[in-house]
């Protein structure tokens, strides 16, 4: 059965901390891995990763895929209270996405 | 403005009632998707459609039905056969093709059972 597992399930940090969120997958016919941020409603797209070892960056966020280990990490440096959200990992296979349960991040001021 | 709209924002269902959730997009996306989100379970795929007049069941299609008569619209009906419909429902759309499958989400509809 195809599955995506995220860890930790929840995390509380202080402003300025650096966090690393993990995503591992067991999916046949892997095409890409995507990260989304969900605050109150619609998930918003962060990154799409298709190639192993190539880091993608957007401001304080970065992500990398390891196809050998079937995993990806999402790093957030110098966290801010606005980073508080659910971070979702999804893996594309065929023409569908399968989502992990998400990591709930809370950044305290 | 281009985007995905869902309505209503909140929906209340009585026992034995069918209700329909609306999803419209003006992004010219080929594919559209419906997900259900429950606490601690991430998003689960209900139905998806790659082209007009065609759709496929996702992982939890029982108790739901859809139609795709127009490219822009993909309504979801929650039937009385769905015994636990209380959840947050998200619609998404994307282009088709390898590397183009980034899905963009609507604001969601929260369905509650009276």
**Residues A48-88: tens digit of each pLDDT:** 999 999 999 999 999 999 999 999 999 999 999 999 999 99
Residues A99, B101: C-beta atoms closer than 8 Å? no
Residues of A in contact with B40 (CB under 8 A): 9, 101
Residues A97, B31: C-beta atoms closer than 8 Å? no
Q: Are A62 and A71 in contact (CB under 8 A)?
A: no
Residue A78 vs residue B42, higher pLDDT:
A78
Contacts of A52 (CB under 8 A, 6+ apart): A65, A66, A67, A68
Distance from CA of A16 to the nearest CA of B (A): 27
As a whole number, mean pLDDT of residues B30-47 equals: 90
Contacts 24+ apart (CB under 8 A), B94-101: B94/B29, B94/B30, B94/B31, B94/B33, B95/B29, B95/B30, B95/B31, B96/A95, B96/B30, B96/B31, B96/B50, B98/A31, B99/A31, B99/A32, B99/A48, B99/A50, B101/A31, B101/A32, B101/A92, B101/A95, B101/A97, B101/B31
b/e map A69-81, b = 16+ CB within 10 Å:
ebbbbbebeebee
Q: Are A64 and A53 in contact (CB under 8 A)?
A: yes
Residue B91, pLDDT score = 96
Of A45-49, A90-94, B16-20, the poorest mean pLDDT is in A90-94
Contact of A25 with chain B, judged by CB distance below 8 Å, is answered with no
From CA B46, how far away is CA B75, in angstroms rounded? 12
B107 → closest Cβ in A4, A31, A41: A41
Strand ranges (E), chain A: 3-7, 10-14, 19-26, 30-38, 44-49, 56-58, 61-66, 71-76, 85-93, 96-99, 103-108
Q: Which residues of B touch A (CB under 8 A)?
A: 4, 31, 33, 35, 40-45, 48, 50, 58, 90, 96, 98-99, 101-108
Per cent of chain B over pLDDT 90 is 73
As a whole number, mean pLDDT of residues A19-40 equals: 92
């Amino acid at each position: 059965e195809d599955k995506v597992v995220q860890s930790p399930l929840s995390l509380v940090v202080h402003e300025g901390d650096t966090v690393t969120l993990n995503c591992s997958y067991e999916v046949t016919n892997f095409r890409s891995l995507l990260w989304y941020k969900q605050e109150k409603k619609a998930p918003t797209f962060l990154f799409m990763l298709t190639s192993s070892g190539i880091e993608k960056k957007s401001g304080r966020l970065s992500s990398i895929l390891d196809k050998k280990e079937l995993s990806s990490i999402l790093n957030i440096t110098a966290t801010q209270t606005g980073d508080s959200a659910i971070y979702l990992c999804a893996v594309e296979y065929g023409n569908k996405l399968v989502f992990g349960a998400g990591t709930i991040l809370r950044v305290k001021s | 403005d281009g985007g995905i709209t869902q309505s209503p924002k909140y929906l209340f269902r009585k026992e034995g009632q069918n209700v329909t959730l609306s999803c419209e997009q003006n992004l010219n996306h080929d594919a559209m998707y419906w997900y259900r989100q429950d606490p601690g379970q991430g998003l689960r795929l209900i139905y998806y459609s790659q082209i007009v007049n065609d759709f496929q069941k996702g992982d939890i299609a029982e108790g739901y039905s859809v139609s795709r008569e127009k490219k822009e619209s993909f309504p979801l009906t929650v039937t009385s056969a769905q015994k636990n419909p209380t959840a947050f429902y998200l619609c998404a759309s994307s282009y088709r093709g390898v590397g183009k499958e980034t899905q963009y989400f609507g604001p969601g509809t929260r369905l509650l059972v009276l």
